[in-house]
Chain A
Amino acid sequence: MGKPAIGRTQLSPHVVAAGAGARSLDRMIHERLRLGIVSALSVNESLTFRDLKKILNTTDGNLSVHSRKLEDAGYLTCEKRFEGRLPRSEYRLTERGRAALENYLTHMEALIRATRQQ
């Protein structure tokens, strides 16, 4: 009695590496809105809550939750102050946040290269 034939296609090392790369992605900025926040801040010295809301076309609640997560992870800083009677939150990307975005971009490019080589 022979071994059962399992019709499995052999994956190339490139694709296996790409899959491993995908698994090691930074989950903190893989989420769409958080990725958008970090990307927008990467080309600006600072942005206010209102600016980010307009750029990313999102709600106060969503932006608030995700910016807080990024802040807790040390990817951005938030400076709160008052302009007259109006509160103003100003966000800046930290070195850690910038490095995370660069790593993420490197990951994405590596994934694309790997799947193209296949």
Chain B
Amino acid sequence: MAVVRPIRKDSPDPIGLHTQAMDNLRFIRSAMENAGPFTAVPGVGGMLMGATAVFAAFAAHLGKSSHAWFAIWAGEAILALAIGLAFAYRKAIRNGTTLLSRSFRRFVLAMVPAVFTGALLTYVLYRAGLHGMLPSVWLLLYGVGVSSGGAFSVRVVPIMGVSFIAVGTVAALAPLAWTDPLLALGFGGLHIVFGFEIARNYGG
């Protein structure tokens, strides 16, 4: 009698199931990471950065010399960076991710060119004694950086970037006496308003 043989042998290793499961997990991770900017940009941290900027603006306004003014704002920039990173880390941990997540890396990398340019121009303008130009450069380039980083994020982030550019434009054209109020409005007010919006709608 003829022997019946299967045309296709059963595989003891169901590669299909394993591959599909891995693929599904990768997809879930990717969807979470793409949605990550909502969680990566720390709203509460932004509000705190805004509050310290308002204090810095008051202190800088009362400063006796342009060197003291510059030192206060340089200190504020370092403090704001530390606050931003600390709250981004806290938020990432709360959401079960890390600061090395793809979404946060994309946000930071998109900001790097503007921040680097801002730091370089700060050095050049400060050395040339053109302190009056610094506020508009800071506001404009910070706005450019946030807008670029916000391209991978929810709409509120690029809107915040554009708002910084708008305040920076006013600072570039306004009298020097407006410098500290405009810095307070930008780094203080905008951070507080948009930070509150992000904290309220996007998980802290």
A59 contacts partner chain B, Cβ-Cβ < 8 Å? no
A40 close to B32 (CB less than 8 A): yes
CB-contact partner of B28 in A1, A105, A115, under 8 A = A105
Q: How far is the CB of B88 from chain A (nearest CB, A)?
A: 14
A7 close to B5 (CB less than 8 A): yes
Q: How far is the CB of A82 from chain B (nearest CB, A)?
A: 17
Q: In the complex, which residues of chain B have a beta carbon less than 8 angstroms from the beta carbon of A4?
A: 1-4
A43 contacts partner chain B, Cβ-Cβ < 8 Å? yes
Q: Chain B contact residues: over half helix, strand or loop, or mixed?
A: loop
Q: In the complex, which residues of chain A have a beta carbon less than 8 angstroms from the beta carbon of B15?
A: 115
A67-88 vs B, Cβ < 8 Å mask (1 yes, 0 no): 0000000000000000000000
The number of chain A residues with a CB under 8 A from chain B is 38
Sort chain B's interface into a size bin: 35 or more
Q: How far is the CB of A118 from chain B (nearest CB, A)?
A: 6
A51-B38, A112-B18 in contact; A11/B4 too (CB < 8 A)? no
CB-contact partner of B14 in A19, A46, A108, under 8 A = A19
A32 contacts partner chain B, Cβ-Cβ < 8 Å? yes
A32 close to B27 (CB less than 8 A): yes
- Find residues 1-41 in chain A having any chain B CB closer than 8 Å to their own CB: 1, 4-9, 11-12, 15, 18-19, 22, 32, 35-36, 39-41
B39-67 vs A, Cβ < 8 Å mask (1 yes, 0 no): 10000000000000000000000000000
B22 contacts partner chain A, Cβ-Cβ < 8 Å? yes
Q: Chain A contact residues: over half helix, strand or loop, or mixed?
A: helix
B173 contacts partner chain A, Cβ-Cβ < 8 Å? no
B154 close to A9 (CB less than 8 A): no
A116 close to B32 (CB less than 8 A): no
B155 close to A115 (CB less than 8 A): no
Q: In the complex, which residues of chain A have a beta carbon less than 8 angstroms from the beta carbon of B36?
A: 43
A40-B34, A55-B34 in contact; A35/B27 too (CB < 8 A)? yes
C-alpha gap A32/B30 in the complex (Å): 12
Q: In the complex, which residues of chain B have a beta carbon less than 8 angstroms from the beta carbon of A1?
A: 1
C-alpha gap A101/B38 in the complex (Å): 20
B6 close to A7 (CB less than 8 A): yes
Which residues does A use to contact B, with CB under 8 Å? 1, 4-9, 11-12, 15, 18-19, 22, 32, 35-36, 39-47, 50-51, 55-56, 101, 105, 108-109, 111-112, 115-116, 118
